[in-house]
Structure 1
Amino acid sequence: MKLFQRLLVAPAALGLMAPLAANADVSPVSTESDFSSEVIQARVDGLESQLGEVMAGQFSSSTKLSGKAAFITGYVDNNAATSSDEITFEYMYQLNLNTSFTGEDNLYTRIKSGNVGDASGTVGHFVDKGQGTYLSAANSNNNAVKVDKLWYQFPVGDSMTVWVGPKIENYYMLASAPSIYKPVTKQFALGGNGSAYGSSTSPGFGAAWTQEVEDPSAARWAVSANYSAKSGDNSAENKGLFGDDTESFVLTKVEYGSPRWQVSLATSFKEGWDNDGYYQSALATKSPNVAADSSMTAYAVRGYWRPETSGSVPEVQVGYDWATIDGAAAGEAEDTSGWMVGLGWKDLFIDGNRAGIALGSRQAATGLKSGGTVTSDPEEDNSVWEAYYTFKVNDGVSITPAIFGGSDLTNASGTVTDVDGAVLLTEFRF
């Protein structure tokens, strides 16, 4: 932006300097030369004043634009009578705007569109949260362009970062990401997309403190805490940011590690939510509910390790989640748990290419409130997996063939069955 302004100022400056040079007296020193010098000086002062006005009107911020587009081609077969394994061709488009006003802060805006399923996310294999085939690259805005994320972050001192925004999720307000595994399906995001992480996009705020160390490769402590409210933009009675019936979400994370390895423990407290999360069994998502005024306390243990050099030795990511629910109705979940292990290979076979394999069990009910007709979760023994290889065509284009599947999962018709699928992702980054 400054270069653009200078290009505008330069011709104006040259235009003002030209008459100055024309009026300059190059004759030998005389009584008139002093007067000419005063005239020139006056004009120079005027030029400086005009330049000052131009500089005063320049933009007080700098904005960087980046983005990506994804072509999504593939199918899903869930072995149900109503299942369709037709191959579909869909898209996602995303723009990222990062604006700084001081050089240390950031106003982040994400704009998204896509046609993967309908706007509610209930139609389309690749936005199906129930059977775990929701892709990380998918978007179900039904071709509408929407502001998907919007928040502002700024430093406080040398060790603290603060976030606040009307559209943010809790895992963005952390000192560091809980997982280094790059997933194809969202169920493997965040080291296992369970109860502790992965809130819906909501109004929220948070802060993170990171211990200062002299050596950037040394281990350090970090603590994060944040609050989000799913009904924070709802002005109805008892809703809003802190209303009695608002779906609130408090998350804290304590971590210790270096850029190569990390262990962490997260604790979250949910109150008033009408479901537990996106990527869990059908029975586990029935609790808590607003009518019962129930609450949930969830925990997430994470750990990862990176090798010194990329290649044949993989990165390792592990995660385990469990939760307890207070206020569940008879036959609903009181306890849940799930786990995942992910392996990632950077620069496998060819520099720039990447491979990944993940497997685990999505969070399911391990304990039910007595008195109901349901005695166990049909998805208690569920298993899920994925595998992919990314070809880097150039710095902006990559192609990723992937396969994924699972067993004992609930499909769109409510039947517990097996699922398998394949997708070809072509991504353009700019």
Structure 2
Amino acid sequence: MKLFKSLLVAPAALGLLAPMSVTANEINLTDVSGYTSTKEVKGISDFNPANELAVTNSRVDGLEARFNNFEAGSFSETTTASFSADFEIGSEDGSTTSEAVQAYYGFQIDLNTSFTGEDSFDVSIDAGNAGGSEFDLNSTSDALNIDGISYTFPLGDKTTVVVGDNIDGSTLYNTACVYGGPSNNLDDCGNGNSAMTEGAGTAAGASYDIGNGFTVAVGYTGAGSSTSGIATKEGSDVFGGQLSYAADSYGASVTYAKTDDYSGDDDRNFLGLNGYWTPSDTGAVPSISAGYEVGTGEGLADTTQWFVGLQWDEMGPGTLGTAVGTIGSSIGDVYDPEFLMYEAFYSYEINDGMSITPLVYIKETAAGSDDKTGIMVKTSFSF
């Protein structure tokens, strides 16, 4: 009986072993050996810091190389950015709106890009709350706005062209004035109308270097962003030109502008004359800048504007300046009565990126109005 059971079990056992033997034959022992590993423990004396550091540096260099090849979302290598911020505090006696002590600020970002090394694509972004301030600050109701966009490029060796929006038509002018006052009234050196300094609308201009100190330039400002279009009867346009001369210590310029208003009733011609002289020694003797402008129009009263400014560029640690002039009429439908303004300022640097400028001014307004006296201090940062 036991023998009979053994004979029955033997074939069944062989049937189970047969497929296992086939599977074993299919195993590649060479591949299996690849999964084995040896573990070698080195002593501390076998560790070489220089070799390990070299390996780490090579890995870092590889990551930097890959990062440098990534350009999406980054600035062009030819793009530069500069930032500035101004803070002002002061008051104006005799004013119904600013007699109390008030504080304002202005912030500006300037982006500059060159595509050929000789051209310049410029974007100015401003923010601020300085509405009505005497200092030339930004007034954008605390919102970032595009203040100006332009492209400047050369044509040949002596001609430069600029096109843009919300920039001065006189961008390429070389007005003969070296006075750098901080106020928003006398900084145009007496030719604010002929020099098209409104900085609004579509603008274009060109300048040509005649040589021997002489330069000629032309400019245009128009309502290109409106439905009236550029250089049309329905639009408001300003055309102008300037001839300037600059020597080592003196210079002069003649500036002309013609305003064509859409109504046809306010067309005017402005002619401005400017000149300056600088001493060879910037000590006790100041530089002198002067300007005079006259505006005429058929059937309209003539307007005049004048300015004289003195500036000591090395008065102690800073710059001292004083000026007197009329605040002339601006381009537009309404021409405000002229009044006289006196100002004095002293600007000095605290460090390379910070300066402080106190300003004192007096406005002699038209008859029947109170004169105004203002005291302000501006702190400027650039970075």
Same fold (TM over 0.5): yes
Measured in 1, the distance between the counterparts of 2:58 and 2:256 equals 60
Distance change >3 Å, CA 73–CA 59, structure 1 → 2 = closer
Q: Distance in 2 between matches of 1:190 and 1:378?
A: 17
Q: How does 1:10-409 map to 2 (within 5 A)?
A: 62-78=78-94, 82=96, 84-117=98-131, 124=132, 126=133, 134-136=134-136, 138-174=137-173, 176-197=174-195, 198-212=197-211, 219-229=212-222, 231-234=223-226, 236=227, 239-272=228-261, 290-326=262-298, 328=299, 333-350=300-317, 353-363=318-328, 379=337, 382-409=339-366
Deviations 1:217-249 (A, max 9, x none): xx51100001110x2101x2xx11122121101
Closer, same or farther in 2 for the Cα pair 1:74/1:339, shift >3 Å? same
Normalising by the residue count of structure 1, what TM-score does the alignment of the two structures yield? 0.68
Q: Is this contact kept in 1: 2:289–2:308, CA < 8 A? A: yes
**Which amino acid in the other structure matches residue 289 of structure 2?**
Q
Partner of 1:428: 381
Instruction: Name the SS of the counterpart of 1:302 in structure 2.
Output: strand
* Alpha-carbon spacing, 1:396–1:177, altered in 2? closer, same or farther (3 Å): farther
Report the Cα distance in structure 2 between the residues aligned to 1:255 and 1:408, rounded to whole angstroms.
33
- How far apart are residue 323 of structure 1 and its match? 0.8
Deviations 1:342-390 (A, max 9, x none): 111112122xx1111000123369xxxxxxxxxxx9946x321100111
TM-score by length of 2: 0.76
8 Å CA contact retained: 1:409, 1:419:
no
Partner of 1:418: 371
Shift of 1:142: 0.7
Runs of 5+ unmatched residues, structure 2: 1-56
Change (3 A) 1:11 1:100: farther
Residues in 2 aligned to 1:309 and 1:76: alpha-carbon distance in whole angstroms? 36
Q: CA deviation at 1:140?
A: 1.4
In 2, the alpha carbon distance for the partners of 1:56 and 1:291 equals 51
Q: Contact (CA 8 Å) 1:65, 1:96: kept in 2 or not?
A: yes
* Whole-angstrom CA distance in 1 between matches of 2:189 and 2:245: 16
Q: Once the two structures are aligned, what percentage of the paired residues are identical?
A: 29
Deviation at 1:166, TM superposition (A): 2.0
AA aligned to 1:87 is V
The Cα shift of 1:193 comes to 4.7
Query: In the TM superposition, what is the alpha-carbon distance from 1:15 to its structure 2 partner?
Result: 5.0
Instruction: From the superposition, tell whether residues 106 and 84 of structure 1 become closer, same or farther in structure 2 (CA, over 3 Å).
Output: closer
Instruction: Using the TM superposition, give the Cα deviation of residue 184 of structure 1 relative to its aligned residue in structure 2, in angstroms.
Output: 1.9
Deviations 1:171-227 (A, max 9, x none): 2122x2442211221221231253212133221111001134xxxxxx511000011
Change (3 A) 1:62 1:427: same
Taking the aligned partners of 1:306 and 1:67, their CA distance within structure 2 comes to 31
> Does the aligned pair in 1 maintain the 2:176–2:246 contact within 8 Å?
no
Query: Is 1:224–1:252's contact at 8 Å kept on the other side of the alignment?
Result: yes
RMSD over equivalenced CA pairs, Å: 2.9
**Number of residue pairs matched by the alignment:** 319
Indicate the SS of the match to 2:185: helix
CA contact (8 A) 2:218 2:241 kept: yes
Q: State the alpha-carbon separation in 2 of the partners of residues 184 and 14 from structure 1.
A: 50
CA distance in 2: counterparts of 1:90 and 1:115, whole angstroms: 6
Higher-Rg structure is: 2
Q: 1:15 to 1:232 in 2, by over 3 A?
A: closer
Could you tell me which amino acid in structure 1 is paired with residue 305 of structure 2?
Answer: G
Separation (CA, whole Å) in 1 of partners of 2:129 and 2:139? 5
Per-residue deviation, 1:391: 2.0
SS of the aligned residue for 2:351 comes to coil
- CA contact 2:237–2:259 (8 Å) conserved in 1: yes
Q: For 2:126 and 2:61, how far apart are their aligned partners in 1?
A: 44
